[in-house]
Amino acid sequence: MPITCSTRGTSSNATSPLSTPPMRLPLPPASTKPVMSSFLIRSFCIVFFANRFRRYCIGRALQINDSVGESLSCFVLPLICRTPLFTELINMSAARQVFESITVDRARELILETAPKPTETITLPLAQAVGFVTSCDIAAANPLPTYTNSAMDGYAFRFEDVVGEQEIVLPIVGQSFAGAPCQQTNFEPRTCIEIATGAAMPEAFDTVIPFEKCDIDETARTIRFQTASVKSCANVRYEGEQINQGEVIVSAGTRLTAQHLALLAAAGVSEVVVYPRVRVSLLTTGSELAEPGQPLGRFQTYNSNGVMLETMLKAMNCEVESVSMQDSAEVIAQKIAELLERSDMLLLTGGAGNGKFDLSQTQLNAMGSMQPWSINMRPGRPMRFGQISGKPVFVLPGNPVAAFVSFLEFARGALLQMQGLTEGLWLKQYPARLVNDIKKKPGRAEFMRARIVSFEDGAPVVEPLLNQSSADLVMLTQAEVILCLDHDSDRYAKGSIVPIQYLRDAGL
């Protein structure tokens, strides 16, 4: 019996030795094919016009010279542009660009070419200047020490008076204390005075012996000591032996620490000229975000990136304005414009990818000049960099570890340059030995979180942490170093020497 196969008005017959009843193969509903065809045709047309418009018209005045173009621009295309499908396709086309893949070193070069160096300065008292970067050399207003003084509690004498003696007895003829110097200026040979640490040395004396090395007779007011127990000029700090008056003691481009400020104060400096704080606007985006301390809704997560990055920025002495908001193209665009009016740098998290829901990236492309490259690295490849109104903009990935690494390896260096530093913009790398084999994708740089397990021949032996997920904050808290694997290699054998960065060098 023949098998009949019906396909909407067409049929084919075949002879079969099997005895089976006629059968009809299941077909889609009659209306599906026309609808799908219509949808595909409309989509194709819209994509065609969208790409044409995006290439020639978006961001500048519409320029079409021929009569057909004028008709389309006046009547047809404005109607198409108002459709939701057109808008969505435009956003998808803008977001899903193909970026040039560049190396870590090249990205750093391009970032530093864009990040502005500071020009304005402010004057601050020492107590308010910690963490700021000096804009000029600072010279000592007075020598240091400011006068010749004793480095020990003991007895001051003239060393030549005891030369040739094994043991000597000296009468105590005066005293000198810090802030209360000995008023006597003429001394008989082979005499001494009691002196305290920091007290002024009489010009007649040149050596101090600690009281612990002396036999002291309080009644007779004498001391006895072995001359071999002290050397000439011992335990004396001479005026200007550390710093001369007018000598540069802090160079331009130095980040001031408590130690620097103590030195400046001791050298008679009361205020410093520094570069002002870099003002950074931090915008975290994501409809799934809830702020710490707020109730957590279903399918929400707490905004850990905002807390982490704000803390890292403040540790760098930046002035930070932190804002979190949901994914909304219009609201994000408005907020970006507001933040840039009062900041020197914009730092965003979320929306760094290359998909239709990455609204931050789409808005920035429309507002400014985002660089047409990505970095072949892991984690953090989605990171983007550019400028809006002459101000650097970083779009960091939403995954917290990727955001952490991207900030550490790129945004931090740009900020240091904007603060006035010229050296040490990138974390220093040190040699370390691998505890196990590593295999990675060739051509891709990797920044692996690792810990130090031991030391061999003075070099740390490091072990990558078990989970290298860009979302694993638990592993990030256990990391001591970043293992820096370059683009070229794809295998690293156990015992290989590899570069690492200490997180402590970044204050982390």
DSSP string, 372-439: SEEE-EES-TT-EEEEETTEEEEEE-SSHHHHHHHIIIIIHHHHHHHHT--S--S---EEEEESS-EE
As a whole number of angstroms, the distance between CA 276 and CA 135 comes to 10
Domain CATH for 345: 3.40.980.10
Same domain for 458 and 367: no
Same domain for 405 and 328: yes
On whether residue 101 sits in a domain, the answer given is no
Same domain for 469 and 415: no
Q: How many CB atoms lie within 10 A of CB 460?
A: 19
On whether residue 109 sits in a domain, the answer given is no
Same domain for 224 and 157: yes
As a whole number of angstroms, the distance between CA 84 and CA 105 comes to 42
| Percent of the chain whose pLDDT exceeds 90 | 71
As a whole number of angstroms, the distance between CA 421 and CA 345 comes to 16
Give the pLDDT confidence of 58-111 residue by residue, as tens digits: 344 334 444 444 444 445 445 554 555 555 555 554 445 567 899 999 999 999
Domain CATH for 159: 2.170.190.11
Q: How many CB atoms lie within 10 A of CB 147?
A: 15
Give the pLDDT confidence of 358-377 residue by residue, as tens digits: 566 667 778 888 898 999 99
64 or 221, which is more confident? 221
Same domain for 162 and 58: no
Same domain for 307 and 220: no
Same domain for 270 and 133: yes
As a whole number of angstroms, the distance between CA 182 and CA 174 comes to 7
Quickly list DSSP for 172-188: EEEEEBTTB--------
On whether residue 108 sits in a domain, the answer given is no
Lowest mean pLDDT among 69-73, 241-245, 310-314, 494-498: 69-73
On whether residue 102 sits in a domain, the answer given is no
Same domain for 305 and 187: no
Please name every residue paired with 498 in a beta bridge, in sequence order, or none if there are none. Answer: 432
Of 419, 446, 476, the residue that ends a domain is 419
Domain count, the chain: 5
Give the pLDDT confidence of 322-350 residue by residue, as tens digits: 999 887 778 888 899 999 999 999 999 97
Same domain for 284 and 373: yes
Give the pLDDT of residue 352: 55
On whether residue 299 sits in a domain, the answer given is yes
> Is 50 exceeded by the pLDDT of residue 382?
yes
Give the pLDDT of residue 338: 94
> Is 50 exceeded by the pLDDT of residue 157?
yes
Give the pLDDT of residue 118: 97
Same domain for 404 and 316: yes
- Range of the structural domain that residue 460 is part of: 430-506
Give the pLDDT confidence of 162-182 residue by residue, as tens digits: 999 999 999 999 999 999 999
On whether residue 354 sits in a domain, the answer given is yes
Lowest mean pLDDT among 237-241, 316-320, 396-400, 409-413: 396-400
User: What value does the mean pLDDT take over residues 199-223?
Assistant: 97
Whether residue 388 contacts residue 343, with contact meaning beta carbons closer than 8 Å, is answered with no
> Is 70 exceeded by the pLDDT of residue 3?
no
The pTM score is: 0.76
On whether residue 40 sits in a domain, the answer given is yes
On whether residue 21 sits in a domain, the answer given is no
Same domain for 215 and 258: no
Of 396, 419, 442, the residue that ends a domain is 419
Mean pLDDT of the chain: 85
CA 462 to chain centre: 23
Tokens of residue 102, six digits: 């560049």
Same domain for 293 and 261: no
Give the pLDDT confidence of 258-312 residue by residue, as tens digits: 999 999 999 999 999 999 999 999 999 888 999 999 999 999 999 999 999 999 9
Please report, for residues 174, 243, 245, 265, the alpha-carbon distance to residue 142 in angstroms, rounded to integers and kept in the order given: 29, 8, 4, 10
